[in-house]
Amino acid sequence: MVDSMVKTIEETRRLAPKVPVDTASFLTMAFYLGELREVLSQLNTKRDLTKSSAESLNGMKRLKTALDDLKKLTKDHTECSRLFLIFDTDKLVGDLQRMVQEVGHDLNLMPVLSIMSSLPTDVANRLTDLRGRMRVATFDSEPEVAELSLALEDGVTKNSKKVATALVERVLKFLEMPSSQSDVLKEEVQRDLLVAEKEERWMDVDKLTELKTLVSLASISSEVPITQTFSRLALRLREEQGMAVPDSFKCAMTGEVMRDPVKLVETGETYNRNAIENFFAKGKRACPKTGKHLKSAELVCNVEVRKAIEESYDELNRKTLDEAARIVRDDMEQRAADAAAAAEARAAALAAGGEAAEAILAEEAAKAEEERKKEEEKKAAAKKKKKGPEPPPKEEPKAASGGEREEEAVEAMQQLSSQDKKYAAQLAESGAVVPLVRLVTERGVGAVREGAVTVLRNIASLGEAEATAIADAGGIPPVVHLITHDTADVTAGIQLVLELSRFPALRQAVTDAMGVVEMIKLLNWHLEDDVGGLLEAVLHTYWRDDPYVAIQMASVGMFKPLVVLLEPESDMETRMMMADGVMTWGVNKAHRVSLVQCGVLPPLVSLLNDGPPEGKAAAARAIEHLSHTDMNRMALAKAGVIPALVKALARGSAEVKNAAQATLANLAMDDQDLDALDEDGTAVRLITMLRAGPATNRDYAVRTLECMAKESKSMRAAVMEDDGAVTAIFEVLQESASHFAAGSLRSSALLLLGHLCQEHNAAEMMAAPPEVVKTLATLLARPLPGEEREAIVIVLGTMAGNKQMRPLVRIEEQVFTLMQKFLNLNPGSSTGTSGPGSSNPASSARLQEAIMSGLSKLADPDDMEAQQIVARLGVIPLAVHYLKMGPDVMRIPSAVLLGNLSHSTPKLVDQTSLDRRLGKAMTWKLNFSRSNSRASAASTGSGSAASPGLMGTDKLRSCKVHGGKCSLESTFCLVEGDIVPILLELVRRSENRVAEVCLASVASLLADEGDHERAADLLVKLDTIEAAAGVVGRTKELTKWAVYILEKVFAIKKYRAPKYSQPAVTALGRFMTTATGQGRKTAAETLMRLNILPKGSFDL
């Protein structure tokens, strides 16, 4: 069955190019079938698998039926009326699309899972890819066909002779048919109509009937008028030989020779068609010659007169050609004789010596010097730098050498050989080739030379014998010279080379004459015009034989041959050469983009997947080269490069792995490619390389992972879940930090660590040895870009969230100092500004956010010493400022920092001899009393030595909540700083994350496990119960802290009274209906304290 399907595919592919309309769609279908044929050929070797079950057999039968239907569709459309194909193009293309998709669908339904496991990996992958592409394949009508179809649909409804004629003429022009074949269209439509009626396809019958009417209405002459323009030589010859024009050839109405003689049926008189039709169009109905009234104006072609006129012209033409050939032969012989005589005279003069000999030598030396100067001028002009490539200087034509008779002869030969091939054959037989080649060789007058080239082209088009005769006469070198050095139009010369290049033996002669090299150079100057198109057509025959020609064409930006030779149909050596050509000639961004647009990616991916080791390496290098251009990256991902690269990472050679890593790193820079990178298992391969690969691969892995981790949560999770990945990144950072030249790698490692800190388990995973912390502190002191500093601060802050790592971070005192520097908060500075209003261009908003977040983690409630360092840095006033009027991203770490300090306040107050313990380390303090706390921190001048109350040991009042002296900076108190109202206001009106950290900070006042009644008194006065009740159920975190505060407050009996508890009861009751777990339990316990729920209700 597989053999039968392969034969069906071959037959369909053979028929596809013969479909005359929408051929491109059928060729695309043939391409799909070609790929399917290769897969089926491989599948044919697994006959035992394909016959292993009834399901397999049924799947193969469905596929065979779909392929048979596709073959029938193609065959029917090769035999169908061309006019009907244009008219019904939408249905044609729709049927083709449906059937191709059905083949893909049937491939998808085949039980190939059991088969694919036993197939080679590349074949299985190709089958999977082919199924997917064919299932979604789309086809569209060619634009010109679609336009013609719409015009025909409109035209068949108008019943207009004028419209019908115009439409049929358009169709004939599109199909490249002469007007004389309009009847052929009618016959095709009539034939299809009979078949449709016989097969009872009534919808098609209606359409064909309309088309038949349209064609019948069209008025297009079936006879082509006789056209003849006589050359000067022909006119002179006719006059000299007395060849008069018979009267029977002349129209009785105009007196001119008839071009389309027609006979008036009623009278038998003959007139020129145009003249008699114009006569009748004026309403006249009498015979122009006899005056007799006519009953009928029917006209028929006068075949006898027409034939006689054509024979007369043919006789004159042949005589003209004979005369022209005689002229050029005689002139050639005369020139040869003159040249021989001149040479003999020169030799005699030189032999005789004397003044005559000296004069000859002097004249020859002067000519040689003149030629040398011209050549030097050409070389100098070529070296000048110009904006774009320009043709080399053209040679000026030499003086005429053939006279007017020679020019007349060439004109006549050119005219007649272009008119009809039989005249070109006559010239070839008459021996005109040799003198014509001599005219081209001697480079005479431009018009003569161009005419001679055109005649030679017409002769070469006759066949191999005539083309070989031109080559044997020495015609190839002069025509190559003409193409590349002539001042006139080179089209005729290129067309002659095109005709000669049809034959393998002559292609070698063109190559030997440097014709290929010169044409490629010329192509560089004509990429956008018709000459370029002709040159491509000529060179097409050469790069098929010699792949090196494709490489040379790529050097001028013509990449299509290179791409074609990369296809799997080429031999492996050629494919590898072309892959290397991508590296060689994709020298700039424009060329790399052009290569991708020309379709270079699919064959490169195929070579990377299926080629030998050397081929894989060449393909990997080429793909990496193309990935350096950002405009190519999305195309690379869509072309299936990523799976191939990931596979290469697993099993490729070191060179392939390096190139694959570099390409993936480039692709990861494009956000649109990240999903594709994630889906194809890139993370696993990269992490493997990161942990165990050689140095180069580790570098690429870090760069790629950084680009991907920036946007991809799944990539970050994959790295964090791997045991050794973070440690390996630290190692790369250590290595790159010691080499200043490795800045790019260091940056990637730092940024990657910063991205990983976004994960929930980052603090745990960022455990590192002391030397890594020291390296980070050292790097922070360097003049690094802002994003690297930001990453360092984020990593250090994340480390500070780990209890084991926090002392290592704190011990690096320069970390705190540098953070203070970047925030530009140096109270002791006499030159810098201080306070939250200061600005530092080097500190971006994101860096400040990272610093504040890091400090909030360092100032952990369990680390009093770190809190004192943060306090001495003057960060607290800044935190207060940002809490009051900063953006949300700064309010969050500020609230966390203040909350951490608030947790420590009771412990600090309980300590004795606080001022003595702080000792000299406490050189200044701040008093955030209610009288001045509402003022802007920027206007308080925190840190100014002249500010009152900042230095010394002024007696301070006791805190209303903690009872001790809480206003020292190192024992910052939410109460004495008057921050609680601000926090509660932010809880009410801010977005969830800000509200959560603010409410957590408020809850810190109730953290004392002992007596917290004074804190509850303050919070109740500040309407905290209503604020907490208002956020119950908003988010899990807000609900947790709200219930915690309410539970703590309602633990005090006096606040269980309804006037205090009613808002909370309502909120908690509503929350209880949806809550689960610990939140619901806490809410229930709170309601039980209020006697709203009976004891033990939660257990029920």
Per-residue pLDDT of 936-975, as tens digits, reads: 333 333 333 333 332 233 444 567 777 666 654 545 777 7
Grade residue 82 by pLDDT with cuts at 50, 70 and 90: confident
Cα angle: 953, vertex 957, 962; to 5 degrees: 115
The answer to whether residue 391 scores a pLDDT higher than 70 is no
More confident residue, 369 or 844: 369
Tell me what pLDDT residue 828 has.
Answer: 32
Q: Which of 10-19, 376-385, 627-636, 950-959 has the lowest mean pLDDT?
A: 950-959
Per-residue pLDDT of 768-804, as tens digits, reads: 888 888 888 888 888 888 788 888 888 888 887 777 7
Best CA proximity match to 792, nearest among 723, 846, 856: 846
Domain 232-301 in CATH 3.40.50.740? no
The answer to whether residue 390 scores a pLDDT higher than 70 is no
Per-residue pLDDT of 240-274, as tens digits, reads: 776 777 888 888 888 888 888 888 878 888 888 88
- Rg over alpha carbons for the chain, rounded to the nearest Å, is 47
Quote the DSSP letter at residue 632. Answer: G
CA atoms within 13 A on the CB side of 633: 18
Distances (CA, A) of 222 to 22, 249, 298, 1048: 27, 21, 15, 107
Tell me what pLDDT residue 838 has.
Answer: 37
Tell me which of 1.20.1070.10, 1.25.10.10, 3.30.300.20, 1.10.287.110 is the CATH number of domain 557-647.
1.25.10.10
Which two three-digit tokens encode residue 326?
A: 């005689």
Distance CA 292, CA 677 (A): 91
Best CA proximity match to 86, nearest among 167, 201, 193: 167
Quote the DSSP letter at residue 1090. Answer: T
Best CA proximity match to 954, nearest among 933, 916, 924, 912: 924
The answer to whether residue 168 scores a pLDDT higher than 60 is yes
Tell me what pLDDT residue 525 has.
Answer: 67
Distance CA 946, CA 951 (A): 9
More confident residue, 509 or 54: 509
pTM above 0.75, yes or no: no
The answer to whether residue 139 scores a pLDDT higher than 60 is yes
What's CA 463's distance to the chain center, in Å? 45
The answer to whether residue 832 scores a pLDDT higher than 70 is no
The answer to whether residue 726 scores a pLDDT higher than 60 is yes
Percent of the chain with pLDDT over 70: 78
Average pLDDT over residues 601-621: 89
| CB contact at 8 A, 620 and 652 | yes
Tell me what pLDDT residue 921 has.
Answer: 33
Per-residue pLDDT of 169-197, as tens digits, reads: 888 888 887 776 676 787 788 888 888 88
Best CA proximity match to 433, nearest among 509, 327, 508, 325: 325
- H helix runs in 567-712, sequence order: 572-585, 589-597, 601-610, 613-627, 633-638, 641-651, 654-668, 674-679, 682-692, 695-711
| CB contact at 8 A, 718 and 763 | no
| CB contact at 8 A, 478 and 437 | yes
* Position 893, amino acid: P
Q: How many residues does the chain have?
A: 1100
Per-residue pLDDT of 658-706, as tens digits, reads: 888 788 777 776 655 555 565 556 667 777 777 666 666 677 777 777 7
Q: How confident is the prediction for the chain on average, in pLDDT?
A: 75
Distance CA 392, CA 518 (A): 11
| CB contact at 8 A, 922 and 915 | yes
What residues does each domain of the chain span? 2-143, 156-217, 232-301, 557-647, 722-785
Best CA proximity match to 107, nearest among 74, 140, 136, 75: 136
The answer to whether residue 743 scores a pLDDT higher than 70 is no
Percent of the chain with pLDDT over 90: 0
Q: Which of 112-126, 706-720, 881-895, 1040-1054 has the lowest mean pLDDT?
A: 112-126
Q: What is the DSSP string of 579-617?
A: HHHHHHH--SHHHHHHHHHTT-HHHHHHHHHHS-HHHHH
Query: Which residues are within 8 A (CB) of 740 and not within 5 positions of it... i.e. 6 or more apart?
Result: none
Distance CA 870, CA 521 (A): 72
The answer to whether residue 522 scores a pLDDT higher than 60 is yes
The answer to whether residue 562 scores a pLDDT higher than 80 is yes
| CB contact at 8 A, 320 and 410 | no
Helix, coil or strand: residue 387: coil
Tell me what pLDDT residue 47 has.
Answer: 55
Task: Tell me if domain 232-301 and domain 557-647 are identical in fold.
Answer: no
